[in-house]
Amino acid sequence: CFMTAPDVFQFGIRVTSEVATVQIGEAAMTYFKVTNIDALYAALSQLDSSDDNLMDERIPYWADLWPSAIALAEYVSELENSEVSFIHEIGCGMALPSVLCGKLGHKVMMSDYVEAPLQFAEANWHLNNTSQPHTMMLDWRNIPDNIEKCDLLLAADVAYESRMFPAVINAFQRLTKNGGKIIFTEPNRKFTSEFYKLLQNNFPEINTSERLVFLNNHQHKIKLSVIDV
């Protein structure tokens, strides 16, 4: 079903977008591609230094479709349907892995730390699915005790700030059932070696491989880790 673009503001400016298509495995996925990312970064830099958005570094990384998200979605598209009943994508941004899981008939929760990406996640869901989307605002540093745990946790490019590494590990532990799986992708950034050490200390069962993603006429090498909880 065709939808109008989400009416979203961040840092006081409207986020503009257009419908774009990306190929994930066999599926052609449509999504609302943000067309004024530079303006969002400029607006963030103009904010008063005491503004929560600056204090908490709410950088609009969500507004881009990252190669790590494509790699994650491609991997998920190859999974056997019977393996999982409830999937949660944290730091979902554009949420294409989640949207694809919805297409495959899974129960999915899409969470992020600010409102803007969740509105885009919902809009992208509606572009591709007829079922209702489920979204949630979630701060990894403060996870509610009664939150439903998932069988499969998805996380694309969530280890991008070293100060947040412990919070990401906390989210992995608190949100995934015993016997569940976490699938984590990132583009081989040098400083994430510290994150992998933390990961290994907390989750001994990690299987890591490399995937090639073609996006915007570039080839990207993405590291994909499947973690048994």
Per-residue confidence at 40, pLDDT binned at 50, 70, 90? Answer: confident
For the record, the structure tokens of 125 come out as: 């869901």
**Cα 157-158-162 angle, rounded to 5 deg:** 115
Count other Cβ atoms within 10 Å, centred on residue 225: 17
For residues 100 and 26, the model is more confident at 100
Average pLDDT, rounded, for the chain = 89
DSSP for 108-158 reads EEEEESSHHHHHHHHHHHHHH-SSPP-EEE--TTS--TTPPPEEEEEEES-
Instruction: Tell me the percentage of the chain whose pLDDT exceeds 90.
Output: 65
**pLDDT digits over 42-66, tens only?**
887 777 766 665 545 566 778 889 9
Q: How do strand 218-228 and strand 206-215 relate by DSSP bridges?
A: antiparallel
Q: Which residue has the higher pLDDT, 49 or 157?
A: 157
Q: Strand, helix or coil at 65?
A: coil
Of 228 and 163, the one with more pLDDT: 228
**Which H/E stretch holds residue 19?**
strand 17-24
Asked whether the predicted pLDDT for residue 198 surpasses 90, the reply is yes
The pLDDT, as a whole number, for residue 170 is: 95
Write down the pTM of the prediction.
Answer: 0.91
**Which tokens hold the place of 60?**
């609009």
- Mean pLDDT calculated for residue range 22-42: 89
CB hemisphere CA count around 72 (13 angstroms): 35
Judge whether residue 148 has pLDDT over 90.
Answer: yes
**Per residue in 211-222, pLDDT tens?**
999 888 899 999
